[in-house]
């Protein structure tokens, strides 16, 4: 059944906001962060107003209620991704999840000369931590290139390097292009042939996939999956690293203190097992509860319909704005697996100037390199404007955006 977008919109108080320009907000920056439905805001308020307490520590009533709410959120999240609850390590988001892989697994398992294979399409969060480890350990980082015409990964390069790779990191869906990578093939080949037949470990960055694709992570079979709650209607400051007990056993602790500890002696310490081993200090309690509420809310929708809705809006927008003189669209929106992002650039109007005039019309879009500078260089540009759609955006909003962009370009272009 198609989404009832008007009903969905009524769950989001912010969508009726009137901006200082007098224009109604048209929020098209969903790849950066999505808006939050009232149930998420209410769940977090309920925690602070009624059960605020630390978790896993005291025996008083509030501590028990807060611990239950926090752990119930882990249940909702693990059910959504079809994994066991002990496979979900809470982090502050995708960035921290990837850093946890680099410090927890990379430091314990990689040494000088080992090959880590990532792609030119990665977010900085899946490049820079490896560069830091490379400086410390002398590991070699190899990049699978992106074809700037088709916007796809060069799988021949992947095939050429995979036998030597001990680790593969790949973004599921590009935050710039919307390209959905063949992650299923990448995982299968890396497991079969990586590390000269021993099997490479694979990390998939699902920050841009989890908001509109129902990911079955048991089926996917990646060793590590990184996600952010705030890109799927949850609050900021929460996300997860989803892995297996077997892989967790290969990891060393990253941050130390608080919940991750079992016993401390003056000369050594012992640590918890499972996800708790990697959750140091007071956890992100309200945020986890909010993310759980977001996932419970999302559970009412068929994610195929969510994907279809945002893809249709993006494909329509990409096709229409590419008719505006001077506008180039990046990404292949004719591919039905492409996500809801539309990156574009005008040949002579600076991206920031354009974004400013779009904002005056009420349209919130992202501008810049999108934390993907190697990809930008490959495309021969330094920035794009990016409109990104989510389940509460309407066809009327897309059409209003297209018409406004056309007017602005008509006025500003020389």
Ligand X SMILES: Cc1ncc(COP(=O)(O)O)c(C=O)c1O
Q: Which range touches ligand X (CB under 6 A), out of 3-11, 93-101, 135-143, 381-389?
A: 93-101
What whole-number distance in Å separates Cα of residue 48 and Cα of residue 318?
Answer: 43
Taking the complex as a whole, the smallest distance from the CB of residue 174 to ligand X amounts, in Å, to: 7
Interior/surface letters 276-288, b for 16+ CB within 10 angstroms, e for the rest? bbbbbeebbbbbb
Strands (E) in 59-139, as ranges, are 88-91, 115-119
Taking the complex as a whole, the smallest distance from the CB of residue 378 to ligand X amounts, in Å, to: 16
Task: State the binding string over 194-213 for ligand X (x if CB under 6 A, else -).
Answer: -----------x-xx-----
Cβ-contact 87, 245 below 8 angstroms = yes
95 binds ligand X (CB under 6 A): yes
Cβ-contact 39, 397 below 8 angstroms = no
Q: How far is CA 184 from CA 56, 77, 215, in A?
A: 37, 22, 12
228 binds ligand X (CB under 6 A): yes
181 binds ligand X (CB under 6 A): no
Nearest residue (CB) to ligand X, 121 versus 313: 121
Strands 140-144 and 269-271: unpaired
**Active-site choice (170, 233, 338, 371):** 371
223 binds ligand X (CB under 6 A): no
Taking the complex as a whole, the smallest distance from the CB of residue 325 to ligand X amounts, in Å, to: 30
Question: Using CB atoms within 10 A of its CB, is residue 128 exposed (0-12), middle (13-18) or buried (19+)?
Answer: middle
What whole-number distance in Å separates Cα of residue 50 and Cα of residue 295?
Answer: 22
44 binds ligand X (CB under 6 A): no
Taking the complex as a whole, the smallest distance from the CB of residue 301 to ligand X amounts, in Å, to: 21
Nearest residue (CB) to ligand X, 76 versus 228: 228
- Check if 371 is active-site: yes
Taking the complex as a whole, the smallest distance from the CB of residue 99 to ligand X amounts, in Å, to: 9
Residues at the site binding ligand X, with contacts judged by CB under 6 A: 93-95, 123, 125, 171, 175, 205, 207-208, 228, 239
């Amino acid at each position: 059944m198609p989404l009832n977008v008007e009903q969905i919109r009524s769950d989001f108080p912010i969508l009726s906001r009137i901006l200082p320009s007098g224009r109604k907000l048209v929020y098209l920056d969903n790849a950066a962060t999505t808006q939050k439905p009232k149930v998420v805001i209410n769940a977090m308020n309920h925690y602070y107003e009624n059960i605020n307490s630390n978790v896993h520590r005291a025996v008083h009533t509030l501590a028990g209620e807060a611990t239950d709410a926090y752990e119930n959120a882990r249940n909702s999240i693990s059910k959504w991704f079809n994994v066991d609850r002990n496979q979900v390590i809470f982090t502050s988001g995708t960035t921290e999840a990837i850093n946890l892989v680099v410090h927890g697994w990379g430091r314990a398992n990689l040494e000088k000369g080992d090959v880590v294979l990532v792609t030119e399409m990665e977010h900085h969060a899946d490049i820079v931590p490896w560069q830091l480890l490379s400086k410390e350990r002398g590991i070699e980082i190899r990049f699978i290139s992106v074809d700037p015409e088709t916007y796809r990964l060069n799988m021949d390069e992947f095939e050429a390097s995979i036998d030597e790779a001990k680790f593969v990191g790949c973004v599921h869906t590009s935050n710039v292009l919307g390209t959905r990578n063949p992650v299923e093939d990448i995982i299968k080949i890396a497991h079969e042939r990586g590390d000269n037949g021993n099997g490479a470990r694979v990390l998939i960055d699902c920050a841009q996939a989890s908001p509109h694709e129902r990911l079955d992570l048991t089926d996917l079979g990646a060793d590590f999956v990184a996600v952010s709650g705030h890109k799927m209607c949850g609050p900021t400051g929460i996300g997860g690293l989803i892995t297996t007990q077997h892989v967790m056993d290969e990891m060393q602790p990253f941050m130390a203190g608080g919940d991750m500890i079992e016993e401390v002696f003056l000369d050594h310490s012992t640590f918890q097992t499972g996800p708790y081993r990697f959750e140091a200090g007071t956890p992100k309690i309200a945020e986890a509860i909010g993310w759980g509420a977001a996932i419970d809310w999302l559970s009412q929708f068929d994610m195929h319909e969510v994907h279809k809705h945002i893809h249709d809006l993006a494909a329509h927008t990409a096709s229409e704005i590419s008719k505006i003189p001077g506008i180039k669209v990046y990404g292949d929106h004719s591919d039905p697996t492409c996500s809801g992002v539309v990156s574009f650039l005008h040949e002579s109007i600076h991206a920031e100037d354009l974004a400013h005039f779009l904002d005056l019309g009420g349209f919130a879009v992202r501008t810049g390199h999108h934390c993907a500078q190697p990809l930008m260089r490959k495309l021969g540009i330094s920035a794009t404007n990016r409109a990104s759609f989510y389940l509460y955006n309407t066809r009327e909003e897309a059409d209003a955006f297209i018409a406004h962009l056309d007017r602005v370009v008509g006025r500003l272009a020389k």
